[in-house]
Amino acid sequence: MNKECTFKTIDRFTIAATHTISKGKGVVLWLHGITVNRDEYKGFFKDGAEFLADGGVDSLRIDFRGHGNSSGSSLDFCVTGQMLDVDAAFKYLSWHYKERRKLVIVGCSFGAPPTLFAAEQNPDVVDGVVLIAPVLSYKRTFLQPETEWAKSLFNQRTLSRLERTNKLFINPTFAISSRLIEEMKIIKPEKALHDLNKKMVLIHGDADSMVPFQVSEDAAKADLRVQLIRFAQMEHGFMNVEDEEGMDARSLENKLRIYKIIQDQFV
């Protein structure tokens, strides 16, 4: 059963969410990437919630502020705002589940940092962490980018325009503010990963053209608590290389394999 719901953050944003309720063996909180919504790209999260529900695991999928049906514009989106959105989701889950349930957070791409921050700050609440194509370093992904995609977006020309207009367009319709850039200079997801006293699973395609795979590989080499599951020839998200629609056999295989890895967190 899918229940559409909303809840308020402490700074009065309205967060829209879908709560998938099954047998309640546990619950996954899904945190999407930038510019998409609670369904994620090509329904990746929506399909994942349905897959887990068949096995008795609940899901809560939220739209971050400035995304989907949550309030605010893209210029309101920021790292600290993500954390307040997650805190509101925690409060909703605590209200709904009168008895504690095992909680796993799944963060994809730009949803990975708030996953790490929330898990580090709430060790008695968060039982597991799964990161997909994760942004583990704002510096290496955006500020001093290592992928050609990011270099085309974050360069001297675009950053100069940001200083003049307080807008930097990630795509034709989604602009971020200088606040987000300044936060990325200060806030360190790699430190949260290091400080998180918990095993975590990283799923990353070695052909990711948006978020550098090498950052995930470096994190796994530096910390035994990090289990890196490498997907050969997988692009950003779950798609096979050159499959933008995510519908070829290899992409669908990737998708199912990722869902089973998440499901295994509840065994």
pTM comes to 0.97
| pLDDT given for residue 23 in this prediction | 84
Whether residue 265 contacts residue 128, with contact meaning beta carbons closer than 8 Å, is answered with yes
| pLDDT given for residue 101 in this prediction | 92
| pLDDT given for residue 127 in this prediction | 97
| pLDDT given for residue 98 in this prediction | 86
**Residue-range domains of the chain with CATH:** 2-138+190-266 (3.40.50.1820)
Task: Using alpha carbons, select from 230, 229, 234 the residue that is nearest to residue 208.
Answer: 234
Residues of the chain scoring pLDDT < 70 = none
Whether residue 212 contacts residue 147, with contact meaning beta carbons closer than 8 Å, is answered with yes
CA 258 from centroid of its chain's CA atoms: 14
| pLDDT given for residue 211 in this prediction | 98
Phi, psi of 82 (to 5 degrees): -55, -40
Whether residue 207 contacts residue 181, with contact meaning beta carbons closer than 8 Å, is answered with no
| pLDDT given for residue 25 in this prediction | 85
In whole angstroms, what is the distance from residue 267 CA to residue 155 CA?
Answer: 45
